[in-house]
Amino acid sequence: MAGRLSFANITALAPMVRVGTLPMRLLALDYGADVVYCEELIDIKMAQCRRVENEVLQTVDFVAPDDRVMFRTCEKEKQRVVFQMGTADPDRALAVARLVEKDVAAIDVNMGCPKEYSTKGGMGAALLSDPDKIEAILRKLVSGVSVPVTCKIRILPSLEDTLTLARRIEKTGVAAVAVHGRFKDERPRHPVHCDYIGAVARAVAVPVIANGGSLDLVKTHGDIQAFRAAAGASSVMLARAAMWNPSVFRSAGPLPLHDVMIQYLKYALRYDNHAFNSKYCLCQMLRDKVESALGKRVQAAQNNQELSEAFDLVAVFEETQAALEARRDALQSPERRRDHVIAVDGDVTTMALKFQRREYPPQLTPKMFLLEWSRRQKLEQPTYQTVQRAQDRGFQSTVTVENRKYRSSLWEKSKKFAEQASAVVCLRARGIPESRVGQENGGRPHKRKTEDGRDVGQEKRKKQAGDGERETGGS
């Protein structure tokens, strides 16, 4: 089929848990990777997701019921990103593949990761001992989706068994097989078995992607071709070498690590990557320098602004936030605005919203305003009942006012934010002005002004610049 992704003679960013998120994938493509794999995503979690077109970030997000983004992608990588899933169930695998197939270039099944994250429930390397299930999953996917299907395996203790499995996989109709040249119980410190990879490549007609050479064979771009030749494979997939410095994909040679980290962080800011994921990736790049002054600042950072400060990118952070805010404002214009829907869940009035701290003045929160309003109305003080769910430790709060209950249907990261969200629901459901900044324009925050109309933030920055201080602000 025209336009289908080819796996012959390519260099790929390997799937890596917590590393293969959107910023790292885009960076690898910028530096010369032909194909990029996302981190392994578990079918049970993905099957619960809904597909959301994020107009602000210009991404497609797959969002879990608890409002977490499980997978985020964008147009720039659409023709070259491979979605890797962890699965042990053919029907569930197909459901997930059909959910994402219009937004990715191929589907891959993880059959090689030996860690418990992957092997529990019979996924990952656990599948190697169940070739019937491997065949059932792959045949279901190949016949059920319009994009190429691949898989990633480890070698078996017996070369004969490895070749038998590879041939059986080929017959399912997959477009390629990635082979990590280590046994299930071996780790990166063990030498990669290039002879096994080469034997598989000679035994099947589909492209074989060699994996596992980062530690001892691939340290620079020039080593990639040598690994390809040593393994006798069509293509190469890099994990750790790319994690440590994604510019390993550059044919012109690697870039200074500090420059690479800055480019990574710019992507992380642009696509609103979770700060703790960004911090993890940056620490992996720092490696033995993680205890340096820069490394300590990165480890201490709690949000994207503090990560930006560590790299002297405060101006970039502010510009990026302003651009995203401007896009939000445009999308929230009177013509585009979609008000939150008020619903009733039993005896509780609900709305799907989160507490956004930036929308309120520094000294006023929805809880405080609701309390003051209740006092003026001579009502009893609002009471809050908060619960926490076990699977992700999210919080949800219900506020009672005049014997009527209100809560947000979305879960928050803290008890404090959950209570604030329930207060917002109460205020909005009852039509009480909540003193948000810029509420006169539909609730989106405006720049605060001084009495003579000057921008408060701009005046603050001027003063700090005059004092020789760097603005740090709040997140």
Determine contact, residues 233/201, Cβ cutoff 8 Å.
yes
SS3 category, 450 = coil
| Half-sphere exposure in the Cβ direction for 131 (13 Å, CA) | 14
Query: 194-203 vs 222-231: helix axis angle to the nearest 10?
Result: 60
Measured CA to CA, the distance from residue 84 to residue 41 in angstroms comes to 6
113 is catalytic: yes
Q: What is the CA radius of gyration of the chain?
A: 26
Q: 454 in the Ramachandran plot: left (φ > 0), alpha (ψ -120 to 50) or beta?
A: beta
**Residue 297: burial class (beta carbons within 10 Å; 0-12, 13-18, 19+):** middle
**Assigned token pair, 423:** 């207060």
Determine contact, residues 19/281, Cβ cutoff 8 Å.
yes
Going from the C-alpha of 124 to that of each of 47, 170, 338, 447, the distances in angstroms are 18, 18, 42, 50
Measured CA to CA, the distance from residue 314 to residue 312 in angstroms comes to 6
Determine contact, residues 273/266, Cβ cutoff 8 Å.
no
Sequence-ordered list of residues with C-beta below 8 angstroms from that of 338, at least 6 positions apart, any chain: none
7 residue type, one letter: F
**Assigned token pair, 130:** 């169940």
**What's the first-to-final CA gap in the chain, in angstroms?**
48
Closest CA to 354 of 410, 406, 394: 410
Which one is catalytic: 49, 74, 113, 281?
Answer: 113
Determine contact, residues 214/238, Cβ cutoff 8 Å.
yes
Sequence-ordered list of residues with C-beta below 8 angstroms from that of 425, at least 6 positions apart, any chain: 349, 350, 351, 353, 399, 406, 407, 408
Determine contact, residues 278/243, Cβ cutoff 8 Å.
no
The label of the residue with tokens 């020039």 reads 222
Determine contact, residues 193/181, Cβ cutoff 8 Å.
yes
Determine contact, residues 219/199, Cβ cutoff 8 Å.
no
Going by the DSSP 8-state scheme, the letter that residue 40 receives in this structure is P
What are the catalytic residues? 113
